[in-house]
Amino acid sequence: MSARGILLCVVTILLASIPCAAKAAPPAARNAQDTASANQDQLLKTAESFVRELFAWGPDVKVKLGPLAPSAAADFYDVPVQVTLQGHVETGDVYVSKDGKTMLRGQIYKMADDPFAANRSKITTEGDPSVGPRSARVTVVEFSDFECPHCQELYEAMKTIETEFPQIRIVYKNFPLTQIHPWAETAAVAGRCAYQQSPDAFWKVEGSIFENQDVISPENVWDQLVQFATKAGLKPDEFKSCMSSDEAKKAVDADHANGVALGVDSTPTVYVNGRPLVGGDLATLQQYINYELAKASADSH
């Protein structure tokens, strides 16, 4: 019996208190279901053909669309897209009209809803390095990669943010792009080990990594990280032991999984009270923080 059949049975028992067994759908209903399924299969085939043409994806690119899901716009399906090329996987969504004639890219919003509530519900910050009051009305969460040049730029920008907005909370989360940055994950694990020994030392190690990013290599990363940890006042032996264990790696993986759940696919990606900012431009970051602070102040009056 299907889950739907079991649910119908339970409802029937509760309402009528009579025996219940799964019943086959009438022929007309089965035909309608078959037709709907065939139409959806054809819609997915049409959509795949169109996105291949749109993005010049040849036979060497594996494209998977679906399953169809309801969207915020009643006349459109939300269609997940998964693209695989040379083992690298990217995901996204498009919106396809139910008549199969129109495709939209981007996001569809219900204007009655908070557009960033879903992001806030997904973001986890417990156990991650942070500065600022936990009761802050504005929380900035950054997903970063220690080997990423743009993340180094965000590191510099965040110094300004910390000085300018002492009333906000800033949370650091790891999102190492291991496909293109060979020592990023090792550095992320080092950051977690520093945090586990001393939360304050994390920020010193973070600074040492970003400020010496150009001299770190896959060959010397371990020695460099131990030097940074020692300089930050950490116990070298304890730090090395942590680097060799699974605990810190699991914390890095948890950060990465949280980013994936949010749709993060590049670094840095920053969330200001759930509002996403890819790239971490300082002026835009300041704009978002000021807006959220003003909104929080207005809501409190």
Name which residue leads in pLDDT, 29 or 47. 47
Q: Residue 131's beta-bridge partner residues? A: 170
Residues 210-262 pLDDT 10s: 999 999 999 999 999 999 999 999 999 999 999 999 999 999 999 999 999 99
- Taking the domains of the chain in order of start, what are their residue ranges? 27-104, 117-299
Residues 163-187 pLDDT 10s: 999 999 999 999 999 999 999 999 9
Per-residue model confidence (pLDDT) at position 30: 58
The listed CATH number (1.10.3470, 1.20.1560, 1.20.140, 3.10.450) that belongs to domain 27-104: 3.10.450
Mean pLDDT across the chain, nearest whole number? 89
Per-residue model confidence (pLDDT) at position 34: 60
Which band of pLDDT confidence, cut at 50, 70 and 90, is reported for residue 89? confident
Q: How far is CA 204 from CA 174, 191, 200, 224, in A?
A: 16, 10, 7, 14
| Alpha-carbon gap, residue 206 to 142, rounded angstroms | 13
Per-residue model confidence (pLDDT) at position 110: 85
Per-residue model confidence (pLDDT) at position 107: 81
Which band of pLDDT confidence, cut at 50, 70 and 90, is reported for residue 92? confident
Name which residue leads in pLDDT, 2 or 264. 264
210: nearest Cα among 141, 135, 146:
146
Name which residue leads in pLDDT, 123 or 299. 123
Which band of pLDDT confidence, cut at 50, 70 and 90, is reported for residue 17? very low
Cβ proximity of 93 and 80 under 8 Å:
yes
Residues 108-160 pLDDT 10s: 888 999 999 999 999 999 999 999 999 999 999 999 999 999 999 999 999 99
Which band of pLDDT confidence, cut at 50, 70 and 90, is reported for residue 23? very low
Which band of pLDDT confidence, cut at 50, 70 and 90, is reported for residue 271? very high
Render the burial of 121-137: b for 16+ CB within 10 Å, e for the rest: eebeeeebbbbbeeebb
Measured from the Cβ of residue 84, the count of other Cβ atoms closer than 10 Å reads 14
Per-residue model confidence (pLDDT) at position 26: 62
Query: Could you give the residue ranges of the DSSP H alpha helices within 70-145?
Result: 117-122
> Angle CA(163)–CA(167)–CA(172) in degrees, nearest 5?
75
| Alpha-carbon gap, residue 74 to 80, rounded angstroms | 17
Phi, psi dihedrals of residue 295, rounded to the nearest 5°: -65, -45
Residues recorded for the chain: 301
Structure token pair of residue 166? 């002492």
State the pTM of this model.
Answer: 0.77
Which band of pLDDT confidence, cut at 50, 70 and 90, is reported for residue 19? very low
Cβ proximity of 290 and 282 under 8 Å:
no
Structure token pair of residue 128? 């991650």
| Alpha-carbon gap, residue 150 to 160, rounded angstroms | 16
**CATH number given to 117-299:** 3.40.30.10
